[in-house]
Amino acid sequence: MPSTPITVRTFLANVPLFRELADEEIGRIAEQTKSLHLDRSTVLFQRGQPCEGFYVVIYGQVKLSFISKAGDEKVVDLLGPGQSFGEAVMFAEKPHVVTAQALADSMLLYVSKAAVFDELERDPRFARRMIAGLSQRLHYLMEDMEGYSMHSGIQRVIGFLLRDETEGAARESGLEVTLPAAKGVIASRLNLTQEHFSRILHELVAKGMIEVRGRTIAIRDMQKLRTYES
């Protein structure tokens, strides 16, 4: 949680979608943007409710999910600071297709559809940035579909553990990963049951590749983990 107050205008100016806008353009959008504080477990909106804008996370975490016909929850995405959601449904002028719930005490910005549509008419560059952002989200969803259909459960878990790996962090051991949510939520995000997710973690522990301490997973053998069941 930020220790200093955040103004809507200042935060919007640093959101990638709005970063190239002039001060007056940011000001117009900020005038129609509201800040929302959500306690942990608060439902922001339900699937099927009208969509009149989109959201940007300032701090905290939001889960997007829906309930299957069998009554099981499927987690579609986990969103953290700086990430946005709801744009595609807003443009389609359809009801929300997922339910959004805060997994931690969170602060969001709610950008109204009217503000976005007014700016689209004023500035074609803004339209291009919106299209680029939506295209990136579509690419991300296609990668998810590929993972579900082409990769085994253990490959999905390993990919998730190594998702933030960088050259600086690509050591052979000593890297620690903190799960951003409860294991059941992560399992659903990876299209696995919680039991299957736990079995995979136990298998990786037994192979000496990781150590699990609550939500913290210490990677003991990076190279072996990268190539396991590749």
Which pLDDT tens digit goes with each residue over 165-209? Answer: 644 444 555 688 888 888 999 998 888 999 999 999 999 999 999
Rounded average pLDDT over 152-170:
73
Extract long-range pairs of 71-79: CB within 8 Å, 24+ residues apart: 72/188, 73/188, 74/188, 74/191, 75/185, 75/188, 75/189, 76/189, 77/189, 78/103, 78/180, 78/181, 78/185, 78/189
In a domain, 212, yes or no: yes
Rounded average pLDDT over 38-63:
95
Nearest to 194 by CA among 72, 65, 71: 72
pLDDT at 191: 86
DSSP 70-130: TS-EEEEEEE-TT-EE-HHHHHHT---SSEEEESSSEEEEEEEHHHHHHHHHH-HHHHHHH
Query: Other C-beta atoms within 10 Å of 194: how many?
Result: 14
Top pLDDT among 135 and 27 is at 27
Rounded average pLDDT over 219-223:
87
28, 79: one domain? yes
25, 86: one domain? yes
In a domain, 34, yes or no: yes
166, 220: one domain? yes
Confidence of residue 4 (pLDDT cuts 50, 70, 90): very low
Range of the domain at 167: 153-227
pLDDT at 132: 74
> Which of the listed residues 149, 183, 202 is the one where a domain comes to its end?
149
pTM of the model: 0.75
Top pLDDT among 144 and 202 is at 202
> Which of the listed residues 149, 173, 191 is the one where a domain comes to its end?
149
CATH number, domain with residue 203: 1.10.10.10
CATH number, domain with residue 18: 2.60.120.10
pLDDT at 102: 97
pLDDT at 167: 40
- What value does the mean pLDDT of the chain take? 84
- For residue 97, pLDDT over 70 is answered with yes
pLDDT at 91: 86
105, 127: one domain? yes
- Looking at the structure of the chain, the number of domains it has is 2
94, 172: one domain? no
Rounded average pLDDT over 5-26:
78
In a domain, 1, yes or no: no
